[in-house]
Amino acid sequence: MLRKEKAKAIVLAGSGGNGGGALVCARYLCNLGCTVEVYLSRPKKSYSGVTMHQLNILNKMHINLQNAEDLQSVGEASLIIDEIIGYSLKGEPHGYAADMIIWANKKDVPVRSLDIPSGLNPTHGKVSEPVIYIDTTTPFAPPKTGLAGKMQKDLLVNYSLLIAESLLNFIQDYQYKHQTIFLKRTILSSSVSIPKKFRRGNLLHLQEYCFFYILLYRIMYLKGQLKTNSKQHRLKRSQLIKAILFIFSEEYENSDLDTIWEIKLPVEKLRSRLKEKYEADYTSNSWISHQIRNYEKKIGSKLFLIQKSGNGTEKTLISLYRLMNAFDQNSHVYITYKIKIANGAYALVQNYIKVNKIDRPLNILLGSGNNPYFFSNIIAEKCWKKNDKYNIYTHNIGIIKKLCSSHVNSEKIKLYSPAGRIDQKKNTIMGSDNELYLSTTFDFIIQSTHCLYNGTLYVDTEEESIRKQIILKKCRGTKVLMLVMDELTDEPAVNMASFGSIEDYNYIVIPRTRSNRIKKHTIKFSQYEIILEPEIINWNYCIYRVKD
């Protein structure tokens, strides 16, 4: 995360025990060669005990110690360390502690909390106002129960136990000296006593405190592992389906096949991948087939083809059903490519903001289909960390649901939609009332297509094509087409409706593949190179500008 020779870390420290941990963190970052600035939630004279001891160490190291009100003068930073409030949280954060949280939330900088994010109740997960929005948190002991509640649901923050190399060395050394603790088949004691020198009353070395609790965590983890290894872990049915779809997308990206629909996975291989990737253990092929069929009945849509190999081995093979039309499930087909092109479109928008120094909300029209939906995922995730503001215009029900969820910052993202009929299968608002779109000047209009043949774009129905055509031909704004490349075909579209041409767009965003083989769709796409000019080439995507 930090390049030592250029890194600058801002450490936000409270006055309690958690603040002491932040000061230890500041000391070690300084020893690594980073520039460190420490901001205190209270005047230095109010600190005592262990925390005061750590403050004295930082003073001797000439580390910059400042008060919270000085935060407004902070320049650029590489990382923010949060340890403002921990178990001492009572009621809502207030005073300088609240100001520090609000300041951190406005910064487009990675934020890492030590032990527990400030403003989150560590026991039951209640989210205070304000609460700090972080990238990761590092529990000193077993992850706090509050992290599994509201934090993950509303704030979408993943927690992880991050162990530095020095800690791992310590653990390995401890393991060697106390082998009975860590041998996997050893029956562990049900109670662990904390050595006297590590108890809070005599605590002078917070690093050793961290060491001990990481060891304690490891012991408890092994206990849980011993108890649960015999217990079979299976995914919920909806999770299983999404996992299978994701595995198909990964298989396709690493294969030399031309389309994802050509992939046929033996159930045995699928079971192996599920265990490897999701730790889901299925002992029966028929169980997976049964779960797939039950899920298809539940949603009323066919997703997979299940058939025997017919080569004498009678292996059960699973492939994707080419005509699947369920929006939520279809969004997971080619998911790795969809994520790539969504990031490409987002990079295009960010470049536009930077070059033109935009300080107003951007007007963006997002069309129907899954590709624009993944773009909306990115701005939903970034809305708490970035200062960008958006007015999103869309008739895509998937996007509307996404941006109406509780974890989206409604102060930064405003949502507008036209009138019309809701098509449940397409997850789209159909209709001819497009005055909302026609009366707005957009910064970007981002669309997808179902089929691209000889430069012409097609969708499934005439009704859907009408709105797409009006948007493409009559709406004002920079037009972007997102392609996963599966849309390219070498045969005329049958029973489909055209809505425009590839030349009607300003930019085309496509994914880059890991495969060494030139795939069929790449050859098909080459016919358009005469009208395209590379704008941005990334490891994961390519952005082409359509020549005038």
pLDDT tens, position by position, 5-30 = 457 889 998 877 667 888 888 887 88
Distance CA 420, CA 47 (A): 62
List of residues 6+ apart from 34 with CB closer than 8 A: 2, 4, 7, 8, 9, 78
Q: What is the pTM of this model?
A: 0.56
Tokens of 148: 């599994």
Specify the 3-state DSSP secondary structure of 185.
coil
Task: Pick the more confident residue, 175 or 90.
Answer: 90
List of residues 6+ apart from 49 with CB closer than 8 A: none
CB 352 within 8 A of CB 548: no
Q: What angle do CA 235, 162, 196 make, to 5 degrees?
A: 115
Give the pLDDT band of residue 88 (cuts 50, 70, 90): low
Beginning with the edge strand found earlier in the chain, give each strand of the sheet holding 316-320 in spatial order: 265-266, 316-320, 304-308
pLDDT at 165 over 70: no
pLDDT at 182 over 50: no
**ω before 142 within 30° of 0 (cis)?**
no
Burial class (CB in 10 A: 0-12, 13-18, 19+), 253: middle
Least reliable range by pLDDT among 77-91, 169-183, 280-294, 369-383? 169-183
Give the pLDDT band of residue 125 (cuts 50, 70, 90): low
Distance of alpha carbon 468 from the chain centroid: 29
pLDDT at 189 over 50: no
pLDDT for position 149: 47
Phi/psi region, residue 156 (left: phi>0; alpha: psi -120 to 50; beta: rest), is: left
Least reliable range by pLDDT among 25-34, 353-362, 393-402? 25-34
pLDDT at 509 over 50: yes
User: Which residues on adjacent β-strands are paired with residue 459?
Assistant: 497
User: Which residues on adjacent β-strands are paired with residue 497?
Assistant: 459
The percent of residues above 70 in pLDDT, for the chain, comes to 76
Q: What is the mean pLDDT of residues 444-454?
A: 95
The percent of residues above 90 in pLDDT, for the chain, comes to 29
CB 171 within 8 A of CB 218: yes
Least reliable range by pLDDT among 112-126, 304-318, 465-479? 112-126
pLDDT at 177 over 60: no
pLDDT digits (tens, 9 = 90+) for 219-256: 444 434 333 344 456 788 888 888 888 888 888 877 77
Distance CA 249, CA 272 (A): 16
Q: What is the mean pLDDT of residues 308-312?
A: 69
CB 101 within 8 A of CB 80: no
pLDDT for position 439: 97
pLDDT for position 107: 82
Least reliable range by pLDDT among 119-133, 178-192, 209-223, 242-256? 178-192
Separation in Å, CA 127 to CA 103, 117, 121, 124, 472: 17, 10, 7, 9, 43
Most confident option among 223-227, 281-285, 362-366: 362-366
Q: Inter-axis angle of helices 49-60 and 17-31, to 10 degrees?
A: 20
Give the pLDDT band of residue 421 (cuts 50, 70, 90): very high
Distance CA 433, CA 283 (A): 54
DSSP-derived letter for residue 84 is: S
Q: What is the mean pLDDT of residues 508-519?
A: 76
pLDDT at 457 over 60: yes
Distance CA 22, CA 19 (A): 5
Q: What is the mean pLDDT of residues 98-112?
A: 84
Distance CA 111, CA 18 (A): 16
Q: Amino acid identity, residue 296?
A: E
Distance CA 314, CA 548 (A): 56
pLDDT for position 11: 92
Q: What is the DSSP string of 309-368?
A: --SSS--EEEEE-TT---HHHHTTTTHHHHHHHHHHHHHHHHHHHHHHT--S-EEEEE-S
pLDDT for position 238: 81
Give the pLDDT band of residue 49 (cuts 50, 70, 90): confident
Q: Which domains does the chain have, with CATH numbers?
A: 8-155 (3.40.50.10260), 165-228 (no CATH), 237-328 (1.10.10), 340-546 (3.40.50.1360)
Torsion, Cα 531 534 535 540, to 10 degrees, reads 130
Distance of alpha carbon 31 from the chain centroid: 32
Nearest to 111 by CA among 99, 120, 103, 122: 103
User: Which residues on adjacent β-strands are paired with residue 537?
Assistant: 542
Q: What is the mean pLDDT of residues 264-285?
A: 85
Least reliable range by pLDDT among 102-116, 120-134, 458-472? 120-134
User: Which residues on adjacent β-strands are paired with residue 306?
Assistant: 318
Tell me the helix, strand and coil percentages in the chain, rounded to 5.
Answer: 40, 20, 40
Task: Pick the more confident residue, 166 or 479.
Answer: 479
pLDDT for position 493: 72
Phi/psi region, residue 71 (left: phi>0; alpha: psi -120 to 50; beta: rest), is: alpha
DSSP-derived letter for residue 396 is: B
pLDDT for position 334: 82
Q: What is the mean pLDDT of residues 48-66?
A: 84
Distance CA 391, CA 406 (A): 17
pLDDT at 173 over 60: no
Q: Amino acid identity, residue 238?
A: S
Task: Please report where in the chains the tokens 């919920």 appear, as a residue.
Answer: 236
Task: Please report where in the chains the tokens 């045969």 appear, as a residue.
Answer: 491
pLDDT at 75 over 60: yes
Give the pLDDT band of residue 124 (cuts 50, 70, 90): low
Q: What is the mean pLDDT of residues 137-164?
A: 46
Nearest to 29 by CA among 67, 3, 68: 3
Distance CA 471, CA 368 (A): 11
pLDDT at 216 over 80: no
pLDDT at 329 over 70: no
Torsion, Cα 47 52 54 58, to 10 degrees, reads 80
CB 341 within 8 A of CB 511: yes
Average pLDDT, the chain: 78
pLDDT at 433 over 50: yes
User: Which residues on adjacent β-strands are paired with residue 10?
Assistant: 37, 80
